[in-house]
Amino acid sequence: MSSLSSPNETPARRERRKEARPGELLQAALTLFVEKGFAATRSEEVAQRAGVSKGTLFLYFPSKEDLFKAVIQENIGKLFPLWSDEMQQFQGSSSDLLRHCVQSWWTQVGATPASGIVKLVMSEAQNFPEIADYYQREVIAPGRELLCRVLARGVASGEFRPMDVSQAVYTLIAPMIFLMMWKHSVGACAPSAQMKDPEEFLQLQVDLLLHGMTSKAS
């Protein structure tokens, strides 16, 4: 436009805010949703925490549910394409790839507030079918697909025993889901019930699975 007139112009403050808003709101929503639950978080609280008025929230997200969907996408959904690429380029053994997957998930979801989103969705799925659908499409399906590909890779290379990968994935999913649910429900309320070392638990689970699955072990 007028880029020729001012050499190092920056967007007007108003403009910069406009671009920053969605992120600020998403961040606020993530924190509050995880802390208080989706239903228990008032839209206005989210707006306040992001430093804007109620109306502004609805300027960027047509509804509270859409805000939730965006939070899912921002914190989890967008990881799958990246992971998919990583997997494609991975050079090592399938065991290592599997370990890498679980590790990545732990680092980027399990150990972060995003884990609260997973817990939330599983908790509220019944009450918000549209969110459940969205989650199924954007998270569950890609997630399963990714893990299935990893298992299939191992089977194809002869590293893993032949198996029904579409069922076997649950063996990987289960400990992850468990960890997130536990952390954000009983773990959050009764410190005594908290898990001591989730990462070690995860390690153990994966080792167990690999030993059970690798050809050499049998």
Partner DNA sequence: TATGAATGAGTCTTCATTCAT
Partner DNA sequence: TATGAATGAAGACTCATTCAT
Q: How many residues bind a second copy (CB under 8 A)?
A: 51
> Among residues 21 and 100, whose Cβ is nearest to DNA?
21
The CA–CA distances, whole Å, from 19 to 47, 132, 146 equal 16, 28, 32
Give the residue ranges of DSSP H helices in the chain: 13-36, 43-49, 54-60, 64-72, 79-89, 94-105, 114-124, 129-135, 141-156, 165-184, 186-189, 198-213
Check residue 94 for interaction with DNA (CB under 7 A).
no
Burial of 107 (0-12, 13-18, 19+ CB in 10 A): exposed
**Shortest distance in whole angstroms from residue 64 CB to a second copy:** 15
Q: How far apart, in whole angstroms, are the C-alpha atoms of residue 4 and residue 89?
A: 43
SS3 of residue 142 by DSSP: helix
Contacts of a second copy in 6-25 (CB under 8 A): none
Report the partner that residue 156 touches, choosing among a second copy, DNA, none (CB closer than 5 to 8 A by kind): none
> Among residues 9 and 207, whose Cβ is nearest to DNA?
9
> Among residues 45 and 86, whose Cβ is nearest to DNA?
45
- Residues making contact with DNA (CB under 7 A): 12-15, 17-18, 21, 39-44, 52-56, 58-60, 62-65
- Residues making contact with a second copy (CB under 8 A): 36-37, 39-40, 121-127, 129, 132-133, 135-136, 140-141, 144, 166-167, 170-171, 173-175, 177-179, 181-182, 184-186, 188-190, 192-193, 195-197, 200-201, 204-205, 207-209, 211-212
